[in-house]
Amino acid sequence: MMHGLAETTTGALTLEHIGRRFGETLALDDVSFSIRHGEIICLVGQSGCGKSSLLRIIAGVDTADSGRVLLGKTEVAGPDRFVEPEERNIGFVFQDYALFPHLTVEENVAFGLKKLPRHEARERAAAVIARIGIETLARRYPHMLSGGEQQRVALARALAPKPRILLMDEPFSNLDRGLRERVREETTATLRALGTTVIMVTHDPEEALSAGDRVVLMQKGRIVQIATGYEIYDRPNSLYAAEFFCPLNKLPGVYRNGRVETALGAFPAGLNLPEGGQALACIRPQAFRLAQPGEGMSARVVRCSFLGEIEQLAIKVEGVEGTLHMRTTERIEVKPGDDVRLVIEPGGVLAFPQA
């Protein structure tokens, strides 16, 4: 008999009011959300926001102080029930991959299949190895593998038992940047093809936006926003969410007639503020665009950095405190001290109440 089971229409996983405290630190504060079958969720936020603590509670290697965890309609953790980690059938890919050094790739992948008859475990391991495309590595040991190869082996080992959910804790952070992007794309394509339900922890905003069907942004143990990558980038619900995914030029202003009036002009904004309320206009660096002579505003170049595809300028505009930052894919033949004319694309401006 299962205690506290709830009939629910949820999909693969439901978290209800999860709380976790370590001494005086509230690591998780009333965290609730659900995940659909086959969905890839990216859990993102600054270090110490509670991402890894939440994974550990879902896996069952740590216990929440309050709240419930349900897999499908089955409660696996709550006030009156706790299902051991090995009984939850949840896969886990660790940041350091945690491969067994004394076992071959084939043996590593088969490690979690001990409940199966030996021939069936061997067949299952071989099928997963083929699916991940690491057949040529099957007889090698972990120390003979590159970082990208180790990551694929760790993925194969986690997928071999056909887990209900796969948890991934910073799975690409140990890889070089170029390799990281390629391995991430290959991994997410494989997981989507298999219909695997995934929660992936990352601290990389670009990774979260590109890999997840939805992004769960956390701050200090609480959920700030849950949305698709496009929604959370285009319509962040707070200054914290906006700044997490893109650097901003923040200009103080006054809210009047549905606009924020600043030293660089007035920008449309739908804010729940009284007339004359203090607001911030937040201009994304890519919202600046070179203007024709006589158009736009005058700015002086303070610094310029050529980043290959992108050029980044620090600019000074009269009447605005400090420097502003501009990013563009145009080739701008300028040097520090030069004057330029700029316009601002309104779509690149976000507005929030002044904190």
Q: Which fold has domain 248-353?
A: OB fold (Dihydrolipoamide Acetyltransferase, E2P) (2.40.50)
Looking at per-residue pLDDT, the higher value among 81 and 331 belongs to 81
CATH among 3.40.50.300, 3.30.390.50, 3.30.1360.170, 3.40.50.10140 for 13-89+163-242: 3.40.50.300
pLDDT band at 4 (very low <50, low <70, confident <90, very high): very low
Question: Average pLDDT, whole number, for the chain?
Answer: 91
The two three-digit tokens of residue 222, written as one number: 């609480």
Query: Burial level of 255, CB count in 10 A (0-12/13-18/19+)?
Result: buried
Q: Which residue stretches of 86-227 are H helix?
A: 105-110, 118-132, 147-159, 177-194, 205-211
**Mean pLDDT to the nearest integer, 232-241:** 95
The pLDDT score that the predictor gives to residue 10 is 58
| Residues of each domain in the chain carrying CATH 2.40.50.140 | 248-353
Q: Rounded distance, CA 49 to CA 62, Å?
A: 16
Backbone angles phi, psi at 191, to 5 degrees: -65, -40
Is residue 5 over pLDDT 80? no
pLDDT, one tens digit per residue, over 312-336 is 999 999 989 999 999 998 888 889 9
pLDDT in tens, 95-129: 888 899 999 999 999 998 988 999 999 999 999 99
pLDDT at 9 over 60: no
Is it the case that residue 94 has pLDDT exceeding 60? yes
Q: Strands 222-227, 214-219: parallel, antiparallel or unpaired by DSSP?
A: antiparallel
Residue 134 pLDDT class (50, 70, 90 cuts): very high
Q: Which amino acid is at 333?
A: E
pLDDT > 50? residue 304: yes
Please check the confidence at residue 1 and state whether its pLDDT lies above 70.
no
pLDDT score, position 226: 97
In the chain, where does the domain assigned CATH 3.40.50.300 lie?
13-89+163-242
pLDDT at 291: 87
- How open is the CA angle 219-222-223, to the nearest 5 degrees? 85
With a cut of 90, say whether residue 307 has pLDDT above it.
no
Q: Residue 324, SS3?
A: strand
> How big is the CA angle at 247 (ends 243 and 249), to the nearest 5 degrees?
100
C-alpha to C-alpha distance for 205 and 246, rounded to whole angstroms:
8
